[in-house]
Amino acid sequence: MDDVEILKNIYIFSSFSLENLGQIQRMAVEEKFKKGQVVFWEGARPQWLFILKKGKAKIFKQSKSGKETIIRIVDAGEPFDELSVIDGRPYSASAKIMEASTVLKIPRLEFLRMVRKYPEVSFEVILDLCERLRGAQDLIQELAVERVEKRIVTLLLKLSDRIGLAEGDKVRIPMTLTRQDIADMVGSTVETAIRIVSRLTREGLIETKGKSITIRNLEGLKALPEDLF
């Protein structure tokens, strides 16, 4: 898939003509990142709109003690950091590459020019930000009232729904997902994440291979009783 096709599949540019997409492609800068590299740090000033062409990245916040809380997983074909790009304020979180990745970078001022010139871009950005706000509200509620066991199950179900690959009657989550990643995404300790993932494996609901997780029984995971743990 070339860059124009990638751009066409991104919600921001989905209504653009091939000519306009070609203009965006020509202004984009491609950069390769290794696993573990930081794309930008919280507090830095935005200069680019980043689009993940290939690979995976995570958006996270880091406490003073160094503990990470993962806010979002960015998959190939998705933009990230739009909010800071639009309002010009420092990044409210950091972005780190989870596996070898390729990123397209569009200069911030050029992107803002497109937002002003093409109202449909503004509308699509607003819709996406609304969706993320709802997701953030759900996350706040989960962290406040849900047991960590429920939060981990919910995380696995969300990942399977969003990026899961059907393999027969199983669903594989096609990303490197360490127990530390799981803990960071649900606000728990890695020891707790290890215990819960091990229990789900023993129950036959999931299977793990290295840092990969496959859901063996999707309906069983959805119907998991609150008191299983």
What predicted TM-score, i.e. pTM, was given to this entire model?
Answer: 0.69
**What is the model's pLDDT at position 69?**
79
Q: What is the pLDDT of residue 46?
A: 93
User: What pLDDT, on a 0 to 100 scale, did the predictor assign at position 144?
Assistant: 54
Q: Where in the chain is the domain with CATH 2.60.120.10?
A: 3-143
CATH 1.10.10.10 for the 146-228 domain, yes or no: yes
pLDDT of residue 70: 83
Q: Mind listing the pLDDT tens digit of every residue in the chain (229 residues)?
A: 677 888 888 877 877 888 888 888 888 999 999 999 999 999 999 999 999 999 999 998 887 777 777 888 898 888 887 888 888 899 989 999 998 999 999 999 988 888 788 777 777 777 777 777 776 666 666 655 578 888 899 889 988 888 888 888 899 988 878 888 888 888 888 999 999 999 999 999 999 887 789 999 998 888 886 655 5
pLDDT given for residue 33 in this prediction: 97
Quick one: pLDDT at residue 139? 63
Quick one: pLDDT at residue 119? 76
CATH topology of domain 3-143: Jelly Rolls (2.60.120)
Give the per-residue pLDDT at 165: 87
- Boundaries of CATH 1.10.10.10 in the chain? 146-228
Written in H, E and C, the secondary structure of the chain is CCHHHHHHCCHHHCCCCHHHHHHHHHHCEEEEECCCCEEECCCCCCCEEEEEEEEEEEEEEECCCCCEEEEEEEECCEEECHHHHHHCCCCCCEEEEEEEEEEEEEEHHHHHHHHHHCHHHHHHHHHHHHHHHHHHHHHHHHHHHCCHHHHHHHHHHHHHHHHCEEECCEEEECCCCCHHHHHHHHCCCHHHHHHHHHHHHHCCCEEEECCEEEECCHHHHHCCCHHHC
- Check residue 143 and give its pLDDT: 57
pLDDT at 223: 85
Instruction: Please name which of 111, 118, 103, 126 lies closest in space to residue 24, comparing C-alpha atoms.
Output: 111
